[in-house]
Every structure is written in structure tokens, then in C-alpha cells.
Structure 1
Amino acid sequence: MDFSTACEKAKAFTKRPTDEEFLEFYGLFKQATAGDINVDKPGALDLKGKAKWDAWNKHKGLSQDAAKAAYIAVYEKYAPKYA
């Protein structure tokens, strides 16, 4: 399975992953597509934005290819639960 296929299949999950699982996908997706985080950290009142920023920042330094492979692995881990 390639990265774009895993992305499409993850978007088609029939049930919504938990917030924690969603952030796992989000952080790896952003690292795979944009590389290291390149935006300022949101303010303390923006809880959703801060959580997403933290999820992406957690993968700082990971190559885009490694992030794609990790995203596929996360998809395969959760697919039986949500697909």
C-alpha cells in the first residue's frame, strides 16, 4: 500500500477515530506532506490548534519518507477498527 492510498482509505473510515488517534494521523500526515513544522505555536486558548501543532511537532526531524511509512503503519493498525 502506498501513502496516498492509505490517506484515501483513512478518510473513508466508517467510524471516527478518537481524538488521540486522529492526532496520530494528523501529525504524521503533516510531516509527510510538509516536512518539519513551519508555523508558530497557537496561543493557549486555541486548544484544538495547539493539540494539532503538538502532534505535528512531535515528528520534527523525521524524513518525509519515514513519516509516510509510519502513516501507513498507523493506518494498518486502525483499519480493522474503523474501516
Structure 2
Amino acid sequence: MSLQDQFEQAVAESKNLPERPDNLTLLKLYALYKQASSGDAAGERPGMTDFVARAKWDAWDALKGTAQEAAMQQYIDLVEELKAQ
């Protein structure tokens, strides 16, 4: 199974975890997903009044320079950890 296939499977499995992850873990999943699927953060940083969008963008931007394959593997590993809890 290719890394892309494993990543897509992990994305599907992330929607059916036994417990909803905490907000920091959800942000990490979001950021790894965006980095793996789109590369480095793009566009303007959302304004101070949009707290959720700003937190998501900042989490994604923190991964700048991470290779898409590395982000995929980290996402897969994190989903596996969450499934085991």
C-alpha cells in the first residue's frame, strides 16, 4: 500500500475515532492534513476576530518546510495513536 493510500485510509479513519480528540490534537490533525495535501500555508493570516481560522492557519504555518510525505506519515502515525487509546 502506497503512502498516499495509507494517508487516505487514515483520513477516513480519523472520522471514526473512538473518542473525539482534544482541540490541540484536532489542530495538529488539521495542520498535518493541510501540509500533506496542499504544502506550505498560503494566503493571508486570518484576522484577530476569527479565532478558529487564525488558530488553524497558525498551526498549519508552523509546519512550513515539512515535506508533504513527512506530513502524511506524521498524520498516519497520529491517527494510529488515537485509534489505540
TM-score over 0.5 for the pair: yes
Of 32, 35, 48, the match for 1:28:
32
Equivalent residue for 1:44?
48
Q: Deviations over 1:16-48 (max 9, x none)?
A: 111101001000000000000112100011110
TM-score normalised by L of structure 2: 0.89
Q: Does 1:59 align with 2:63?
A: yes
Q: Does 1:71 align with 2:75?
A: yes
Residues 7, 75 of structure 2: 8 Å contact kept: yes
Q: Does 1:5 align with 2:9?
A: yes
Give the distance between the partners of 2:24 and 2:37, measured in 1 at CA.
20
Give structure 2 stretches of 5+ with no counterpart.
none
Give the distance between the partners of 1:16 and 1:77, measured in 2 at CA.
13
Residues 18, 83 of structure 2: 8 Å contact kept: no
Match of 2:76, as an amino acid?
I
Q: Percent identity?
A: 38
SS state at 1:3 partner: helix
Note the aligned Cα RMSD (angstroms).
1.2
Number of residue pairs matched by the alignment:
81
Give the distance between the partners of 2:10 and 2:45, measured in 1 at CA.
28
